[in-house]
Amino acid sequence: MPFRCAVLDDFQNVATTLADWSAPGERLDVVSFTDHFGDEDGLAAALADFDCVVTLRERVPFPASLLDRLPRLRLLIASGMRNSVIDYAAATANGVTVCGTESSSTPPVELTWALLLGLARGLVQESTALREGGPWQSTVGADLHGRRLGLLGLGKIGAPVARVGLAFGMEVSAWSQNLTAGRTTEVGVRLAPSKEELLAESDFVSIHLALSDRTRGLLGPAELALLKPTAYLVNTSRAAIVDQDALLAALREGRIAGAGVDVFDVEPLPAGHPMRTAPRLLATPHLGYVSRANYERYYGQAAEGVRAYLAGAPVRVLG
């Protein structure tokens, strides 16, 4: 019987072409699922005959209730080296080894700037008008040079974003709960004395924090009200850091100039979700990590993880 491996959420259908899934001396059957499973019953039925599952990021939870329904499952590989939606204790209890892969911070840095620049220069609106016979120039772009970029978080993604801002000639400040003056000096930016001051003084605010109990709902109605009416908010981190209802209200009422969002409270975003039609919103379907080099790393190391497990020496074990 072959060792069967399921790859979830392979929306572009590239998992089997971007990596070598061969396993010398083993019969390996890799099946790619290009549609998302929206409920646990469907997922449990689809995965019942698989020994291994490869899952992208934290899109699909693996709680005890699901793991208990997959008696054949022996290996779960998640892209990245941190995953908050896998029940590691339940995996252990069910004899499932959980492994990860490396992940590059470069793609989300680049997408952050794609969103920020797209917002600042009205690229979607202007491109659409040009292609569809609309007005020749209808927006007045927002300048970056000399403006204030405020970063919530200055880690492996926030710091490169800051350096790009400096290259554009922006004034860059940063804040997070544990951020120190030493760290901001190292990166070459200003330490904002408080979250509130950073929000009130910035022309562009970009979020680069991990989701935790401390950061969940960090930007609610009161915080969003501090933003200038000419300010733009970019979130390529996690949707739950921003109160989604408060953000929608701010966009609809024109209390901020716009927002660039790559992450949502439900993914994939349902057809009728209000984020699909919100004004002043430049939205992308969680593309932050989606690049060829990153996918080659994810799927290449996932395939390596399968071979290592079959050889009795699992690599990059999590939990």
Q: What is the pLDDT of residue 16?
A: 95
Can you tell me the mean pLDDT for 112-131?
Answer: 97
**Residue 26 in this model has a pLDDT that exceeds 90:** no
Instruction: With 0.85 as the threshold, say if the pTM is over it.
Output: yes
d(CA 310, CA 228) in angstroms, rounded, equals 56
C-alpha 197: how far from chain center: 26
Which residue stretches of the chain are H helix? 40-46, 64-67, 88-93, 106-120, 123-132, 158-167, 181-187, 195-201, 221-224, 244-252, 292-310
Non-local (6+) Cβ contacts of 127 within 8 A are: none
Residue 129 phi, psi dihedral angles, 5° rounding: -65, -40
Q: What is the pLDDT of residue 132?
A: 97
Q: What is the pLDDT of residue 246?
A: 98
Non-local (6+) Cβ contacts of 42 within 8 A are: none
Q: Is the peptide bond before 268 cis (omega within 30 degrees of 0)?
A: yes
Helix (H, G, I), strand (E, B) or coil at 154: coil
Q: Judging by beta carbons within 10 Å of its beta carbon (0-12, 13-18, 19+), is residue 154 exposed, middle or buried?
A: buried
**Residue 57 in this model has a pLDDT that exceeds 90:** no
Which of 102, 62, 60, 9 minimizes the C-alpha distance to 315? 102
Averaged pLDDT score across all residues of the chain: 97
**pLDDT tens digit sequence for 58-117:** 889 999 999 999 999 999 999 999 999 999 999 999 999 999 999 999 999 999 999 999
Q: How many percent of the chain have pLDDT more than 90?
A: 97
Q: Judging by beta carbons within 10 Å of its beta carbon (0-12, 13-18, 19+), is residue 186 exposed, middle or buried?
A: exposed
Which residues are 86's β-sheet partners?
62
Contact (Cβ atoms closer than 8 angstroms) between residue 248 and residue 221: no
Helix (H, G, I), strand (E, B) or coil at 84: coil
d(CA 178, CA 191) in angstroms, rounded, equals 11
Q: What is the pLDDT of residue 24?
A: 87
d(CA 283, CA 141) in angstroms, rounded, equals 18
**pLDDT tens digit sequence for 225-237:** 999 999 999 999 9
Catalytic residue IDs: 238, 267, 286
Q: What is the pLDDT of residue 126?
A: 97
**Among 17-26, 200-209, 256-265, whose mean pLDDT is lowest?**
17-26
Q: How many percent of the chain have pLDDT more than 70?
A: 100
Amino acid at 120: A
Maximum CA extent, the chain: 64
